[in-house]
Amino acid sequence: MSFTRAMQHERRAIDRTRAYFLELRGARDAARRAAEIEALPSVEWKGHRLRTLHCLGPFGRGPHAVNVPEYVCWSLISLEAFTCPYHR
């Protein structure tokens, strides 16, 4: 997949998850979530902007930072209660 196609795919994923969040939770919660996402630390990885969430896993590595694409942030119930796949 070319870089441009990958960016288009990522943009569509963000748009879909944001629209679904808006449909389920309403405009006020969507505006709040957008502000929460914008306030998260971010990193660049291979041309993609990733947001840093903190996994609260109680074992193994314990609490640690996890970099995820923005659409993951829109699909979560809560950004504060994030648990990475390793700790589920």
What residue ranges in the chain does DSSP mark as E strands?
Answer: 42-45, 48-55, 64-69
Domain ranges, residue 17: 3-87
Encode pLDDT of 15-31 as tens digits.
Answer: 999 999 999 999 999 99
CB 76 within 8 A of CB 82: yes
Residues 29-49: tens digit of each pLDDT: 999 999 999 999 999 998 889
Indicate the number of domains in the chain. Answer: 1
